[in-house]
Amino acid sequence: MSAFEKIGSDRQLQDHWLRRLVAGIVDDIITWVVAWVILSFVAIPVLLLGGAAWFGVFPFLSGVLFFLYASFFESSRGSTIGMQIMHLKVTTMEGNAAGLNKSMLRNISKIHVLLWVIDTLIGMATVGDPRQKYSDRFAGTTVTSTIEKDLIITTIVADVSPETPPIST
């Protein structure tokens, strides 16, 4: 059964993918900031010399940084900073730590945001572990929770649920 077939009725799976999305956004912001810092030292002289094409370098640089950042943190610590915040970790399918080779293989799609989205959608649309991106399947990895309960969905639902007014007699 694919993740798309299961996600509508499985709150744990909804929570899993929501947490992965938030972790990915946090990690992407971290790499954007680093890319901007690097480019700020190089871009001003290049722009003064007429290098308007330099603006095409930012997406490439941020993608390469995201790939390297995710691969390094997942292989050395089991999770990126965003994943740590969201209580997620990368493991092999056997539950062991993923080494650098597996981490690089599963993160190759992070070179470009469109590839990352396609990787995720194909993984969710195909039969297999519904927690896996497509690249997780051929890397033999998955993302698991480091806590036992829902984290985000339970909090959101609790905050939005109306309180029942007391019955006055």
pLDDT digits (tens, 9 = 90+) for 14-28: 999 999 999 999 999
**145 forms bridges with which residues in the sheet?**
88
Estimate to the nearest angstrom the gap between the alpha carbon of 30 and the chain centroid.
12
| Whether the predicted pLDDT of 151 surpasses 90 | no
Question: Residue 38, SS3?
Answer: helix
CA dist., res. 45 & res. 5, Å (int): 52
Task: Tell me the pLDDT tens digit for each residue of 97-113.
Answer: 999 999 999 999 999 98
* Residues forming a β-bridge with 91: 97, 142
Please report, for residues 1, 52, 77, 134, 153, the alpha-carbon distance to residue 5 in angstroms, rounded to integers and kept in the order given: 6, 46, 32, 16, 19
